[in-house]
């Protein structure tokens, strides 16, 4: 019997595998592509080495005065000397532990809530929303034996985080109410909600901050003095809640009508249907949208420097005017940019991860 | 058996859904009216205490401060009302320039992100991820304080030939001076535009009737280049350039681009382009691959597939998002106030407010301007959306 043994497969040609194959298909697939690659390589060659030299290789790391910066590169000593101020503003250094403790606590709580399948999530969530803000307030501001730190001393990254977290804390529930009102069958709540949302979404945040800092004192009784930080927070929360309302509304709209009809059929009342059936599903689908809104809010908090609060950007900007440290603005901006970038980028990666996780449908 | 009529159980009136809704809405109106009455009352009282008169008569008062960039004639002797117009025009200038530049850059980066060239695609990704994750204000500050404010003084200007100069006071470009005969060139341009329009209509009609195509693009380009050039030389080259020149400590003549405008424009362009690039990418990716395959099955070449099949469908996704980015750009241009570019917020809600003290009127006017722009554009957007919605048969 003759057994036909086919000739074993030849290996693929060496020009289509390995590094050479990858280069051919990804960088030099056509003459135009090759030109593009060479141009891109030229750009990289032109920009990357000077940037590396400036930021790392020729940079100055040690010392404590301007004179220590003798190399051509960046003078990171400036950042090192002012690091505490950039983090905490004018918060007294003996009380730093309070701010750090508050941030560690909220970080742990959020981490606990974000990790899948941790037990007793609802209790932890209730604690985070209802009790933790009170603890945080006393930690930051003082009271119960802790010395009081007035809000004008708050600043730096701490203030940026406080502004964006509290802004979010108020914007989310208010946004949900607005979104429900906009979808309501009653004409008056719907009209009011549309008016509110379109008004705030149509104007820039700066004018809102101007308004809250200039006009709010006019609106309130004379004897009521509103703290500058509080005024900014009111402006930011109102502004953000309009955006949040639109995000939540998109989630409500995406929910099939059968869900609310099923709730009606089960005999649930309006609020029961909202809290047990509608909101849990709608909010889940818009978590990425909520995270994106939070990123926007985080970036927008920089605007408070225009009304005279010292957030991260403002305090770095203020440090440039120190006569002992003139001429280090690039270092300052790079440092601020790096911090903002790390926060925003990690949050946007998380949001994309969620989008992939929640995306169970089949689209093209 | 006859069905027995069940008596409808009597319910209390407050358990009736309609009555409840009415009651709730009445309470809501009372609350809102009460809230505004409270605020109005406080405001009246506070204004009286501070001796501020309400009303818009302040707009006719003399302003008494200078503005570094004005598109219309303006001096310190003009009124507060005129500062409003000057600021508004400056806002419109930077917004329009920003929208044009950001769209071009955004499209280039978005297409580069989809490129089959690995290196180009990765570089576009780095660009997008870097600039969209940095606060816009930080970027404006960077370009203004760290880049443009460290340029050399006018005497040591960076320059290209004797035409373009760049220094700490700004960029100086040649200014075109149109002489008498230039009207002929403009008239020719209008004529060519009309010709191209009719050519396109005729070519479309001919293609529908006979199936033959006419090279509209090449013909149009030829017309567009040749006829105005002929008109230009026939009229005796009626265009001169006024060159900027160093006189004393500063440049005179030409067009001056102040560094505030340049920094704002660069930052707005770079930031918005990173967002537009993502929109362009998602738009093109949203057209399913089946469309491309169907087009090649019909025998369309790749260029035509892109132009006739992919882009029209991608535009449906791209344009609404793009409009909201344009709106954001207009609103973000108000950050000008942080570096002193004289836009509406900086001039009117800044300097004028501080001098005139009419906080309520000025902020209301400023907000009304932005609100009008936003609502107008979103109205057109809704109209466009309704028109371009997928027509499913």
Output the pLDDT for position A95: 83
pLDDT tens, position by position, A73-90:
788 888 888 888 888 888
Structure-token match 């996780």, residue found:
A357
- HSE of B297 in the Cβ direction (CA atoms, 13 Å)? 6
Q: Taking CB atoms and an 8 Å cutoff, what residues of chain B touch A202?
A: 367, 370-371, 373-375
Q: What is the largest CA-CA distance in chain B?
A: 112
Task: Say whether both A248 and A345 belong to one domain.
Answer: yes
Per DSSP, the residues of A6-37 read PPPPPPPPGGGSHHHHHHHHHT-SSHHHHHHH
User: Is A178 or B164 the better-scoring residue by pLDDT?
Assistant: A178
The number of folded domains in chain A is: 2
Tell me which residue range forms the domain holding A171. Answer: 155-358
- DSSP character for A74? -
Please name every residue paired with A303 in a beta bridge, in sequence order, or none if there are none.
none
The answer to whether A60 and A76 are in contact (CB under 8 A) is yes
pLDDT at B212 over 90: no
Higher pLDDT, B166 or A358: B166
Q: ipTM greater than 0.95, yes or no?
A: no
Q: Which two tokens mark B146?
A: 């760290």
- Would A94 be classed as within a structural domain? yes
The average confidence (pLDDT) of chain A is 87
- Cβ neighbours, 10 Å, residue A123: 9
pLDDT one-digit tens code per residue, B245-266? 777 777 777 788 888 999 999 9
**What per-residue confidence (pLDDT) applies to B287?**
87
DSSP B54: P
What is the DSSP pairing of strand B170-173 with strand B175-178?
A: unpaired
Domain-located, residue A64: no
DSSP B90-155: HHHHHHHHHHHHHHHHHHHHHHHHT-S-HHHHHHHHHHHHHHHTS-HHHHHHIIIIIIGGGSPPGG
Q: Is residue A40 a part of any domain in this protein?
A: no
CB distance from B322 to chain A under 8 Å? no
Claim to verify: residue A180 and residue A106 sit in the same structural domain: no
What is the dihedral sign for C-alpha A16, A18, A23, A25? positive
A348 shares a domain with A206: yes
pLDDT on residue A361: 57
B39 contact A CB<8A: yes
Has residue A105 been placed in a domain? yes
DSSP label at residue A4:
P
Domain check: are A216 and A339 in the same one? yes
With cut-offs at 50, 70 and 90, classify the pLDDT of residue B98: very high
Mean pLDDT of B221-229: 87
pLDDT band, residue B4 (cuts 50/70/90): low
Q: Is B120 on the interface with A (CB under 8 A)?
A: yes
Interface probe with A: pick from B37, B123, B130, B137, most Cβ of A within 10 Å: B137
Specify whether A136 is located in the same domain as A162. no
> What pLDDT score was predicted for residue A362?
45
Are residues A119 and A228 located together in one domain of the fold? no
The CATH class of the B80-131+258-388 domain is mainly alpha
Q: Are B360 and A218 within 8 A, CB to CB?
A: yes
Report how far residue A56's alpha carbon sits from residue A76's, in angstroms, rounded to the nearest whole number: 10
- What pLDDT shows up at residue A364? 37
| Residues A300 and A202 placed together within one structural domain of the fold | yes
Give yes or no: residues A336 and A223 share one domain.
yes
* A172 lies in the same domain as A305: yes
CB distance A172 to A297 below 8 Å: no
CA of A255, closest CA in chain B: separation in Å?
Answer: 21
| CB-side neighbour CA atoms (13 Å) of A205 | 29
Q: Specify whether A301 is located in the same domain as A341.
A: yes
**Domain-embedded: residue A283:** yes
A220 and A351 in a single domain? The answer is yes
Is residue A229 a part of any domain in this protein?
yes
Cα angle value B392/B299/B388 (rounded, 5°)? 25
- Beta carbons of A220 and B123 less than 8 Å apart: no
Using DSSP's 3-state secondary structure scheme, residue A289 falls into helix
pLDDT of A360 strictly over 80: no
Mean pLDDT score of chain B: 86
Alpha-carbon span A175 to A248, nearest angstrom? 7
Inspect the interface and report whether the beta carbons of B370 and A203 lie closer than 8 Å. yes
Residues forming beta bridges with residue B164, ordered by sequence position: B160
Angle at B275 between CA B274 and CA B279, to 5 degrees: 120
Tell me, yes or no, whether A211 and A341 share the same domain. yes
Subunit contact A344:B133, Cβ cutoff 8 A:
yes
Which among A132, A149, A166 is the end of a domain? A149
Nearest residue in chain A measured CA to CA from B142? A333
Q: Which of A117, A134, A149 is the last residue of a domain?
A: A149
Q: What is the pLDDT of residues B36-80, one digit of tens each?
A: 999 888 888 888 887 777 778 888 888 788 888 888 888 888 888
Q: How many CB pairs under 8 A join A and B?
A: 148
């Amino acid at each position: 019997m003759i057994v036909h043994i086919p000739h074993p497969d030849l290996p693929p040609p060496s020009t289509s595998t390995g590094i050479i194959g990858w280069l051919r298909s990804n960088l030099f697939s056509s003459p135009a592509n090759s030109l593009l690659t060479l141009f891109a390589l030229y750009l990289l060659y032109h920009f990357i080495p000077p940037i590396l030299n400036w930021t790392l290789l020729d940079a100055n790391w040690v010392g404590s005065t301007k004179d220590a910066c003798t190399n051509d590169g960046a003078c990171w000593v400036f950042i090192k000397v002012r690091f505490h101020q950039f983090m905490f503003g004018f918060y007294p250094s003996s009380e730093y532990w309070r701010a750090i403790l508050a941030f560690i606590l909220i970080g742990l709580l959020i981490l606990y809530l974000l990790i899948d399948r941790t037990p007793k999530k609802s209790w932890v969530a209730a604690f985070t929303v209802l009790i933790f803000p009170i603890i945080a307030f006393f930690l930051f501001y003082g009271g119960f034996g802790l010395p009081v730190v007035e809000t004008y001393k708050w600043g730096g990254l701490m203030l940026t985080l406080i502004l964006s977290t509290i802004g979010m804390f108020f914007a989310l529930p208010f946004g949900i109410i607005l979104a429900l009102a906009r979808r309501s069958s009653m004409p008056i709540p719907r009209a009011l909600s549309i008016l509110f949302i379109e008004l705030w979404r149509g104007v820039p945040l700066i004018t809102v901050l101007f308004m809250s800092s200039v006009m709010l004192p006019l609106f309130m009784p004379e004897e009521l003095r509103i703290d500058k930080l509080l005024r900014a927070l009111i402006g930011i929360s109102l502004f953000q809640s309009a955006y949040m309302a639109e995000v939540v509304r998109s989630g409500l709209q995406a929910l099939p009508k059968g869900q609310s009809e099923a709730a009606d059929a089960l005999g649930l009342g309006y609020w029961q249907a909202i809290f047990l059936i509608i909101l849990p599903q709608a909010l889940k689908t818009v978590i990425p949208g909520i995270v994106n809104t939070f990123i926007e809010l985080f970036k927008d908090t920089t605007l408070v420097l225009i009304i005279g609060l010292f957030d991260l950007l403002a305090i770095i900007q203020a440090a440039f005017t120190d006569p002992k440290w003139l001429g280090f603005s690039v270092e300052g901006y790079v440092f601020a940019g790096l911090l903002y970038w790390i926060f925003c980028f990690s949050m946007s990666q998380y949001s994309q991860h969620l989008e992939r996780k929640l995306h169970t449908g089949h689209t093209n | 058996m006859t069905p027995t009529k069940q008596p409808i159980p009597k319910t209390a009136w407050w358990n009736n859904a309609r009555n409840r809704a009415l009651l709730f809405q009445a309470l809501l109106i009372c609350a809102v009216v009460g809230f505004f009455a409270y605020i109005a009352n406080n405001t009246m009282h506070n204004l009286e205490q501070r001796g501020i008169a309400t009303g818009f008569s302040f707009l006719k008062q003399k302003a008494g401060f200078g503005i570094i960039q004005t598109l219309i004639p303006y001096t310190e002797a003009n009124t507060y009302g005129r500062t409003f117009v000057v600021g508004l025009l400056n806002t419109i200038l930077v917004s329009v320039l920003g929208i044009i530049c950001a769209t071009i850059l955004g499209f280039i980066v978005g297409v580069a992100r989809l490129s089959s060239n690995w290196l180009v695609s990765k570089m576009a990704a780095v660009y997008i991820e870097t600039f969209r994750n940095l606060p816009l204000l930080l970027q404006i500050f960077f370009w203004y304080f760290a880049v443009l404010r460290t340029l050399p003084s006018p005497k040591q200007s960076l320059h290209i030939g004797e035409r373009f100069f760049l220094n700490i006071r700004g960029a100086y470009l040649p200014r075109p001076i149109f002489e008498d005969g230039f009207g002929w060139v403009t008239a020719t341009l209008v004529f060519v535009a009309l010709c191209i329009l009719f050519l396109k209509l005729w070519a479309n009609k001919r293609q529908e009737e006979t199936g033959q195509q006419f090279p509209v693009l090449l013909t149009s380009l030829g017309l567009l280049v040749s006829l105005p050039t002929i008109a230009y030389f026939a009229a005796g080259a009626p265009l001169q350039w006024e060159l900027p020149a160093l006189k004393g400590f500063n440049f005179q003549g030409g067009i001056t681009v102040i560094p505030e405008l340049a920094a704002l424009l660069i930052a707005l362009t770079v930031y918005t382009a990173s967002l537009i690039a993502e929109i362009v990418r998602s738009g093109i990716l949203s057209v399913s691959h089946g469309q491309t395959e169907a087009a090649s099955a019909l025998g369309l070449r790749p260029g035509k597939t892109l132009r006739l099949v992919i882009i029209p469908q991608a535009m449906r996704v791209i344009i609404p998002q793009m409009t909201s980015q344009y709106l954001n750009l207009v609103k973000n241009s108000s950050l000008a106030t942080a570096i002193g570019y004289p836009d509406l917020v900086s001039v009117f809600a800044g300097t004028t407010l501080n001098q005139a003290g009419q906080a309520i009127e000025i902020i209301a006017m400023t907000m009304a301007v932005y609100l009008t722009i936003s609502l107008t554009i979103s109205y057109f957007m809704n109209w466009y959306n309704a028109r371009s919605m997928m027509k499913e048969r």
